[in-house]
Amino acid sequence: MKCPYCNYPDSKVIDSRPSDEAIRRRRECVQCGGRFTTYERIEKTPLMVIKKDKTVESFDPEKLLNGMIRSCEKRPVKMATLEEIARNIEKSIRNEFKKEVTSTELGNRVMEALKDVDEVAYVRFASVYRQFKDVSSFMEEVNKFIDDRKGEK
């Protein structure tokens, strides 16, 4: 690391501490003895979402969270739970080293997570996400959900 005081191209690390999104390093120049602080941040590759109409936009965790919040209105679901679901979904996609994800896959991941958190929120999210054409297709989804629950027990 180049010294900001004398421009000498070498320095030594005196102290290193992780912070929220970076590693803070306290450095000392080996030539002039000047001390300075640097921060190392992991550069995240942008995650892109391919929508149903084939348009592409950057992934927005806030948008994902807002959809879940709407489906959980007036339900006993804590905000921290929804934030954790959004974080876990983003983390799992990034851990798969994907640069693009379809909105369908995102919706399915949200529905799987909501299924275990709140059944009403799951049905609400599914009704908007799956865009049911009529009541019978909506009832098919609800019945499938009920059958899945019976199979788990």
List Cβ neighbours of 143 (8 Å cut-off, separation of 6 or more): none
SS3 153: coil
Q: Is residue 4 part of a domain?
A: no
Domain count, the chain: 2
The confidence score (pLDDT) of residue 132 equals: 67
- What is the pLDDT confidence band of residue 124, given thresholds at 50, 70 and 90? confident
Let me know whether 55 and 108 are in one domain: yes
Let me know whether 73 and 141 are in one domain: yes
- What is the pLDDT confidence band of residue 15, given thresholds at 50, 70 and 90? very high
Q: Is residue 82 part of a domain?
A: yes
Let me know whether 30 and 89 are in one domain: no
DSSP string, 70-123: HHTTTSS--HHHHHHHHHHHHHHHHHTT-SEEEHHHHHHHHHHHHHHH-HHHHH
The confidence score (pLDDT) of residue 94 equals: 86
SS3 40: strand
The confidence score (pLDDT) of residue 113 equals: 92
pLDDT tens by residue, 58-103:
999 999 999 999 999 999 999 999 999 999 999 999 888 889 999 9
Let me know whether 56 and 29 are in one domain: no
Let me know whether 19 and 74 are in one domain: no
Average pLDDT, the chain: 88
pTM, 2 dp:
0.63
Q: Is residue 2 part of a domain?
A: no
Q: Is residue 91 part of a domain?
A: yes
Q: Is residue 5 part of a domain?
A: no
Let me know whether 78 and 145 are in one domain: yes
Task: Give the domain range for residue 22.
Answer: 11-41
- 106 pLDDT above the threshold of 90: yes
The confidence score (pLDDT) of residue 133 equals: 66
Let me know whether 35 and 67 are in one domain: no
- 145 pLDDT above the threshold of 80: no
**Amino acid identity at 138:** F
Only one residue has tokens 């098919």, namely 140
Only one residue has tokens 């180049």, namely 2
List Cβ neighbours of 73 (8 Å cut-off, separation of 6 or more): none
